[in-house]
Each structure stands twice: as C-alpha cells, then as structure tokens.
Amino acid sequence: MYAQLVKTDSTHVRGLDEMSAEERAFQERIDRGEKIEPKEWMPEGYRKTLIRQIGQHAHSEIVGQLPEGNWITRAPTLERKTILLAKVQDEAGHGLYLYCAAETLGVSRDELMELLHAGKMKYSSIFNYPTLTWADMGAVGWLVDGAAIMNQVPLQRTSYGPYSRAMIRICKEESFHQRQGYDIMMTMARGTPAQKHMAQDALNRFWYPALMMFGPSDKDSVHSAQSMAWKIKMNTNDELRQKFVDQTVPQAEHLGLTVPDENLRWNEEKGGYDFSEPDWSEFFEVIAGNGPCNRERLGARVKAWEDGAWFRDGLKAHADKAARRPAMAIAAE
C-alpha cells in the first residue's frame, strides 16, 4: 500500500466501556468481520481515517505514474514499451477505483485534489526518488510494487466494503507489475557486466526507500493501533516490513545481486532475516517535502490538473445539459 503516517485522531484504543452504544455496536460488527457499507452508520473518526488512507493511496497511484512515464519513450524495445504503457495505464485505473471508493465517504475528488496540491494530503515517499536508468524500472516493479502487494493483499479483508472490493482487482494487476519488474532485473542481471552493474546500482538506491514504504517502526507509529482495531489496517508496519525482507532477499540471491545491508543475516530462532533499519530522518525529510523530486512531482500534478480544467468543464457542461433535457421535453409538451 502507498499510505504512510495515516492519522486517526486518536493515539490509543478505547475499550468498549468507554464507547457510546452506537460505537460499541459498530466495533462489535468490526470484530465479527462484517463489512461496513457507505450508507451505514460509522464513527466520524473511522470515516476521516478512511478518507486519509484511501485518498493518500489514490494520490500515490496517480503520482506513481510519473517516474515510470519518464521511461516510456526510452524503453529499450517495443515490447518493453508496450508493457510499460500497460502498467502506467493500470496505475491510472487504480487511482480512479480508489477515488471512487473515497467518494462513497462523502468527499469529492476535487476536494482530494485540492488537498494534494496544497500539500495537506500526502502520497507515498517512494515516488520522490528519481528513476535514473532503465534498471530503475525493474527495481520499481520488483521492490516498490512488491512492497505494495505485501501491504495490499491483506487490505482485501479490510472492514470498509468499497475499499476491500477495489483492492481485489488492484492486487491482481499489481502482481503483474511486480513480475514485470523482476523480469527486467533478471534480464539486466544476466546481461553484460555494465547491465548487471546497473541492476545492482538500482537495487542499492531503492532498497531502503522500499523499506520505508511500510511506514515508521511500530514504536513510532502512534495511530496504527486504532486503525487495526477498526480493521482499516490489518498488519503492523514492522510485520509487513519483515515479511517483505524475508520474501525479497532470496529473490535478490537468485538474481545474483547483493542486498546493500552489511547487517543482513538469517535468524534461525525467529525464522526470518535480521536487517538494518532505514534512515528514518531521511524518511521524515522526504515526507515533509524535501526529497529529491518532491517539487517536481507535485508541480507535474498541479500542471496536469490545471491544463485539464477545460476538459472537465466541458464534461460537466455536457452532463448538465443532458440532465436538463427531460425537463425541457416535458415543458414542450
């Protein structure tokens, strides 16, 4: 998933005895595994948290097209170009599914865009890093989409119905994206020494930013407990990060590449790898808007929104005219 630092307006989970009768009935439904649908009662904190999470997720899908779109005209073969085009198109579709899910919570797409452009709603930190070589397209697909899948598959069981259902299709397509990235890395790793060097360099640059995608360590993630109690979030940040490392390290070994972590080693006792923490000061700097590409990414989105205003206005005018036709026909009679 591409949502990080999602606030819940609460830093602790209230017990049933601290809740109103409506809140208690709602929490009991969540605990039974029932889905919450748009027109049903929900606590305001639940609704706001979902808007933040789904909105950030949608923005990440849309902004995430930018580093990949940069390589469409420079893909090494026609086959690679068509695959990358299909992937970018998928990301646009994911954003639309998620904006639609957010709209069921009473927020408009225009409002979400205004929050993004004003810097009041974030997107995933990973998209503020540049894609310098074609190998980066492999690293993005393998690592970034791999991390997204690790987070998104459990969200198919999230408590909010429209979000849960959107994730089912998104996860199927993200699986293709991850395989596409790994295939690029495999081709590069088995190519010339220069190509293998490019693959290793891409892994070196994207490894820690990919680990940051899961959000800060559990001890510093004060809002996770409430999100998990509401089953908006299904796993802790550290659980997902551990699963990602355990899955990805053997894949890197198969490629003949080295994960850039001197402390990486298998821990037989816990049945997983020990690994170094990312530089969280870098993470918070990027989240604050001071990453390598923050201004470029946001500027591109604002420009696209402003340049497309005429088209949105035309669609609205057409819809308004179509809505008036039945009334005009009745009046003519």
Q: What is the pLDDT along the chain (333 residues), one digit of tens a residue?
A: 555 556 656 656 677 677 788 899 999 999 999 999 999 999 999 999 999 999 999 999 999 999 999 899 999 999 999 999 999 999 999 999 999 999 999 999 999 999 999 999 999 999 999 999 999 999 999 999 999 999 999 999 999 999 999 999 899 899 999 999 999 999 999 999 999 999 999 999 999 999 999 998 877 766 678 888 999 998 999 999 999 999 999 999 999 999 999 999 999 999 999 999 999 999 999 999 999 999 999 999 999 999 999 999 999 999 999 988 876 666 666
Dist CA 113 CA 301 (whole Å) = 9
**Domain total for the chain?**
1
- Is position 241 within any domain? yes
Which residue has 């992937």 as its token pair? Answer: 87
- Is position 301 within any domain? no
- Is position 316 within any domain? no
- Is position 298 within any domain? no
**Predicted local confidence at residue 3, as pLDDT:** 59
Handedness of CA 118, 164, 153, 199 (dihedral sign): negative
**Predicted local confidence at residue 218, as pLDDT:** 78
What is the CATH number for 217? 1.20.1260.10
pTM over 0.85: yes
Distance, first Cα to last Cα, the chain: 55
- Is position 2 within any domain? no
Which amino acid belongs to residue 98?
L
How does DSSP assign 17-60, residue by residue? GGS-HHHHHHHHHHHTTPPB-TTS---HHHHHHHHHHHHHHHHH
Domain span at residue 240? 16-292
Judged by DSSP in three states, 279 sits in coil
- Is position 174 within any domain? yes
- Is position 333 within any domain? no
- Is position 297 within any domain? no
Q: What angle do CA 294, 297, 303 make, to 5 degrees?
A: 130
Residues sharing a CB contact under 8 Å with residue 283, sequence separation 6 or more, in sequence order? 125, 212, 216
